[in-house]
Amino acid sequence: MAKTDILKEIVAKKKEKLIAAMQQLSEEGLKSALAGLPATRPFKEVIAKPRQISLIAEIKQASPLKGVIRQEFDLQDIARNYQEAGVQAVSVLTEEDFFGGKASYINEVKSIFSGPVLRKDFILEAYQVYESRYLGADAILLIADLLTKDKLVEFMAIADSLAMDYIVEVHDEKELKKVLGLKVPVIGINNRNLRTLEVDFKTTEKLFTLIPKDKIVVVESGIKSSQDVLFLKILGASAVLIGTAFMEAPEIKQKVEEVMGW
């Protein structure tokens, strides 16, 4: 039996949501609403500290693979735990149907967490880049598998013009090749295949050596222990993005300290 392509389902649903969003607030309306917003918080500098590995701690209530991950989902409490643990940046999932996210979460988190916030979603249109700034995001995730080279260039230029940083995420050599041809400062290696949802740590081992040393590399998915983090630190990764391990933990702050060795 063929495996379901989860990414296809997510993208189809996202396109429906986008049509509705654009009917409520046009791209022009969105752009004019950006005037006078508070400045973005620097993301890239915060996750690229020499000789240390930074943490982008994720907030998500659910995932397509596991369903609801955190039953007692208290957004403010999670943000407070991340703040107290001293994490460098927070990633907030805003995708509603598969991850239980909400657009409003970004500013709610920013009212408690003093560092930069990454909007993690499935960005398919320029509209969503402007929307991310409107929602309070300091940085966005762009998935190479979903976007042509031209779209990546366009979205990165818009993000630059809005003073937002971005992670361009890859999970195989073909996607990496596409991204290395562009001026991408931060590359994310996702150990999870977004189509099958399988996680393979060898993805990082394979791709990391192909990335030039001047790039900031963030490793995502499947990072569960201090051994995993130590391995990635020795490899030379700048940052790790960890969600599930923290969302499943009864005591988030304690888990962050344990996994990061802080």
- What DSSP letter does each residue of 129-149 carry, written as one string? HHHHHHTT-SEEEEEGGGS-H
Active-site residue flag, 16: no
Flag whether the pTM goes above 0.95: yes
Q: Are strands 239-242 and 216-220 parallel, antiparallel or unpaired?
A: parallel
Q: Which of 14, 54, 60, 63 is catalytic?
A: 60
Mean pLDDT, to the nearest integer, of 49-75? 96
In whole angstroms, what is the distance from residue 65 CA to residue 149 CA? 29
pLDDT, tens only, 218-249:
999 999 999 999 999 999 999 999 999 999 99
DSSP conformational letter for 199: B
Active-site residue flag, 58: yes
Q: Which of 110, 120, 178, 255 is catalytic?
A: 120
Q: Which of 14, 58, 132, 255 is catalytic?
A: 58
How does residue 260 score in pLDDT terms, banded at 50, 70 and 90? very high
Active-site residue flag, 220: yes
DSSP conformational letter for 58: E
Active-site residue flag, 60: yes
Active-site residue flag, 226: no
Written out in words, the top-level CATH class of the domain with range 41-260 is alpha beta
pLDDT value of residue 4: 72
